[in-house]
Amino acid sequence: MSNNHEPRRRFLRQMLAVVPVTSVATATALSESACGDAPSSGAVSSQGAAAPYAPQYFTEDEWRFIGAAVDRLIPADGLGAGALQAGVPEYIDKQMDTPYGHGKLWYMQGPFHPDSVPEMGYQINLSPREVYRHGIEACNAYCKQQHGGKVFAELDVATQEAVLHELEHGKPAFDSVPSKTFFATLLGNTKEGFLADPIYGGNQGMVGWKMVGFPGARADFMDWIDQPGVKYPYGPVSINGRRG
């Protein structure tokens, strides 16, 4: 959420250092394969179709929230495109209709212990799509109460960032979903949408990969093994063969 360029670049580089981008989309790939369908529609839309993307899960008000929130989490700046330009909202919307979105990849039976240690895993009875539905509704209600009747998308940039900071630290006590869990889900999906392969709907134009210098799904790097520190000269390639 910071406007400082260097922390943003460092954040994205750390993301790649800890989790290779090809594995960022692993959960999504498993989700799609579980459904038996390859996400070909994402490949088409990621190339910038003429008609704007129409969300399949989110309502109009929810869609406005998603757009405003991800724009604050990864804003466009002098270093490159942000989450909106990368199609992150589209990525998140597509995820809602996968086994991940429906919570089918996790054990979702009780008992639940929301206050337990992180090692115990996911500890609420809501699927990701329910986390978004309840979380957005609760956040908009909180914003209305605290900021003169305005929902999150209507707030100025500084206030939006302040609200996201509060969510990150669990300050608003939502009845329907822990605000900290809602923020963590939103932030995690935003990172994925910015850095995953474009076939999943995000990272459109491979802007995330270009920013951090990731070459994508190239098959052969043998010529570069013995050249440490040399900048790789070729642009990124998607899993489906499209070049950036």
pTM as predicted: 0.77
Cβ-Cβ contacts under 8 Å for 138 (sequence gap 6 or more):
172, 174, 175, 176, 177, 179, 182
pLDDT for position 30:
37
For the segment 84-103, the average pLDDT, to the nearest whole number, is 96
Burial 14-44 (b: 16+ CB within 10 A, else e): ebbeeeebeebbebbbebbeeeeeebeebbe
Cα Rg of the chain, angstroms: 18
DSSP state of 19: S
For the segment 170-191, the average pLDDT, to the nearest whole number, is 94
Which two structure tokens, joined as six digits, stand for 118? Answer: 């992180």
Q: What is the pLDDT of residues 120-150, one digit of tens each?
A: 777 788 999 999 999 999 999 999 999 999 9
Q: Which residue has the tokens 């394969």?
A: 33
pLDDT for position 2:
46
Q: Is the pLDDT of residue 236 over 80?
A: yes
Cβ-Cβ contacts under 8 Å for 122 (sequence gap 6 or more):
106, 108
pLDDT for position 20:
42
Q: Is the pLDDT of residue 48 over 70?
A: no
